[in-house]
Amino acid sequence: MRPAAAPVMVHAMSMRRFLAGLTVLGSVAASLVIATSAAQADTVICEKWGTTTIQGGKYVVQNNNWGSDIQQCITVTDTGFTVSQANHNKPTNGAPGAYPSVFAGCHYGTCSSGSRLPMQATDSLFDTIRTSVRMTYPSSGVYNASYDLWFDPTPRTDGQNTGAEIMVWLNRVGSIQPIGSRVDTVNLAGATWEVWYGNTGWNVISYVRTTPVDSISFAVREFFDDAVRRGYAQRSWYLTSVQAGFEPWVGGTGLTVNEFSYSVGGSDPTEPSPPVTTSPPASPPPGGAACRVAYRKNEWLGGFTADVTVTNTGSSAINGWNLTFTFPSGQRVTNGWNATISQSGATVTAQNMSYNASIPPGGSVSFGFQGTWTGSNGDPADFTLNGTRCQTA
């Protein structure tokens, strides 16, 4: 990741095809062939922009040696890759040498199969997108281990994304820092993260874990929602790719992605998902419901986001739901997701969408909203579902 001291340097993913084009002009065509067939065990890629696919095309692995002229090679397995040759020696106050990585989605015209990306963040399936990675780190070198989540104002499949680049740093070794400057600390995905922000023609928001780890599993929306509430991203934008890999400054040999996964709708993205109904929301039944509500918020001075989970603790399905609650003082909902939310005075009403109207016994639905507060930001004490008071968790 490029630090603030070098604002004119190109970031790990920027202008990839532009630089590749310059390479084409100065190289023999045969040396620029990019692997496109599915990877077999121990497939080795040394070509600067070389890619291949794994797991039947579900993921793309890219060498992406974008910022260095030294040779970098990756050995690709069916679940990830290892940097098998690299001897980067980049100044730590500048840009890294490369971003070898594995991804789902589309990046500079190379797309994996079945990812359903690009996907607009307003799509009901966006909130279900999850990813995980498990890595191995070498004992030497200067590098970060990071995700790249790319967003664009349009459903772009090629070229440079111009919306937001959200980076999730699992680990950093050496005196390196993200683009821009540190703006906050936040708790997300069960951990504490430094928040950094900069702009290189698009917004770069980096979340640096304060305690390094070699594995993580998270919902993409957790980091995206935080970027939206800070004004760095917009819900009308499209997620184009989910990438995991490394940015090496010094060395690099031994950096390994052991396993990478991406899912949407709670299942393998290559499996067909059930159709989403577009009928109007069902009217809440006149009877009550046995329920439990969990209310979790993340707040900052004058603003907050809240996630609400409604669980059906009864023995029959709830077909159509209407949840009401009252803020204790000074809160106002500004926007929401996964429910139609209205507010009258201090009373808030959330009604199901067409795709989450039914809650089976023991099942649950979740929705969320962003709001403002003055004075204090206490939690609502009582929740009522279809006229019946719920337990709180």
Give bridge partners of residue 393 from the DSSP assignment.
none
3-state secondary structure of 20: helix
Residue pair 350/322 in contact by the 8 Å Cβ criterion: yes
220, containing H or E segment: helix 220-229
b/e for 358-387, b at 16 or more Cβ within 10 A? ebeeeebbbbbbbbebeeebeebeebbbbe
What tokens does 206 get? Answer: 């980096």
Q: How far is residue 343's CA from residue 373's CA, in Å, rounded to a whole number?
A: 14
d(C-alpha 67, C-alpha 88), whole Å: 10
Nearest 5 degrees, angle CA 260-CA 262-CA 264? Answer: 170
Q: List, by residue number, the catalytic residues.
A: 165, 247
Tokens standing for residue 139:
């004992």
Spatial CA neighbour of 304 closest among 388, 385, 368 = 368
Q: Among positive and negative, which fits the CA dihedral 178, 183, 185, 189?
A: negative
SS3 87: strand
Q: How many CA atoms lie within 13 A of 272 on its CB side?
A: 3
- Report CA dihedral (190, 162, 101, 125) to the nearest 10 degrees: 50
SS3 assignment, position 284: coil
- Per-residue tokens: 305: 């986001």
Going by the DSSP 8-state scheme, the letter that residue 264 receives in this structure is: B
